[in-house]
């Protein structure tokens, strides 16, 4: 027998097919179900042309789906690459480039809930302040309204704002200023990140959200962070746009439907 994880798990499934194998929340898969679901995913990977040794990035939350995708990758003798949802631009680029990833499996929204934008920004402030200090940039956080709530996946929304902040710190001039603030209208909640990148060349604003586009001559990173931020915001029913401040910087605005007060 080839001692490979897929082979071991297949053997276990053959011996105790009806025993619980993986559990997440209210969902439990037996060993037979675990093996069969992984087999279908593996068949799909092979159908795309992947061969043994292929690197498969798993951009998934911890749960049954992650384990099934990992099992599937082992089944087709590939190499699973864990992609944490909180990885930022430079970290994503290093991981995907260094691992020679050939395909990606990812999850959608799983945990939409009522979120206070005040609480979200407050949670991000400490880590963001440390990052700003490390890059020699001043950060100002303004979130005065405590009753601005949205219906969103907190992990995806937090990652989206974190990516915007990382880009702001990276492209602002040394000694510059970055602002994180919240505001609202009657039916919309707004989260804004303003930087001092010096402004954008004419006609390039939307190009920033394309994967592999960079904001400057700095060749570190690939612009993946802005692309992922937009996808995360849109998955939560919102919009992410950028406004150029010529000669000064940019304002990135996350706009989400505002929930009525409790």
Q: What is the pTM of this model?
A: 0.63
Q: For residue range 175-196, what is the model confidence (pLDDT) as tens digits?
A: 999 999 999 999 999 999 999 9
Summarised one tens digit per residue, pLDDT across range 115-134 is: 999 999 999 998 889 989 98
Tell me the angle at which helices 5-15 and 31-47 cross, rounded to the nearest 10 degrees.
140
CATH number, span 113-257: 3.30.565.10
Mean pLDDT of the chain: 83
Task: pLDDT band for 237, please (50, 70, 90 cuts).
Answer: very high
Options 3.40.109.10, 3.40.50.980, 3.20.20.210, 3.30.2320.50; which CATH number does 5-106 get? 3.40.50.980
- pLDDT top residue among 212 and 257: 257
Write the pLDDT tens digit of every residue in 19-38: 999 999 889 999 999 999 99
Q: What's the 3-state SS for the chain?
A: CCCCHHHHHHHHHHHCCCCEEEEECCEEEEHHHHHHHHHHHHHHHHHCCCCCCCEEEEECCCCHHHHHHHHHHHHCCCEEEECCCCCCHHHHHHHHHHCCCCEEEECCCCCCEEEEHHHHHHHHHHHHHHHHHHCCCEEEEECCCCCCEEEECHHHHHHHHHHHHHHHHHHCCCCCEEEEEEEECCCEEEEEEECCCCCCCCCCCHHHHCCCCCCCCCCCCCCHHHHHHHHHHHHCCCEEEEEEECCCEEEEEEEEEECCCC
| pLDDT at residue 145 in the model | 87
Q: Which one is predicted more confidently, 204 or 141?
A: 141
- Residue ranges of domains in the chain: 5-106, 113-257
């Amino acid at each position: 027998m080839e001692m490979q994880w897929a082979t071991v798990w297949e053997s276990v499934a053959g011996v105790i097919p009806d025993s619980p194998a993986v559990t997440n929340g209210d969902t439990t898969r037996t060993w037979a179900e675990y093996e069969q679901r992984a087999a279908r995913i593996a068949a799909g990977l092979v159908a795309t042309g992947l061969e043994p040794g292929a690197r498969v990035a798993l951009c998934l939350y911890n749960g049954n789906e992650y384990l099934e995708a990992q099992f599937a990758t082992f089944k087709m003798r590939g190499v699973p690459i864990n992609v944490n949802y909180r990885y930022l631009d430079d970290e994503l680029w290093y991981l995907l480039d260094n691992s020679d990833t050939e395909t990606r499996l990812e999850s959608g929204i799983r945990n939409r809930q009522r979120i206070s934008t005040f609480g979200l920004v407050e949670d991000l402030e400490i880590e963001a302040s440390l990052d700003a200090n490390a890059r020699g940039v001043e950060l100002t956080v303004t979130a005065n309204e405590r009753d601005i709530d949205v219906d969103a996946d907190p992990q995806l929304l937090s990652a989206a704002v974190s990516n915007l902040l990382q880009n702001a710190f990276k492209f602002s001039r040394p000694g510059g200023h970055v602002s994180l603030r919240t505001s609202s209208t009657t039916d919309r909640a707004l989260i804004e990140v303003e930087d001092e990148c010096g402004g954008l060349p004419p006609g390039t604003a939307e190009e920033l959200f394309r994967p592999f586009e960079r904001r400057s001559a700095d060749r570190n990173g690939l612009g993946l962070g802005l692309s992922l931020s937009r996808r995360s915001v849109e998955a939560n029913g919102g919009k992410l746009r950028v406004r150029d401040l010529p000669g000064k910087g940019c304002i990135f605005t996350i706009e989400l439907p505002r929930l009525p007060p409790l």
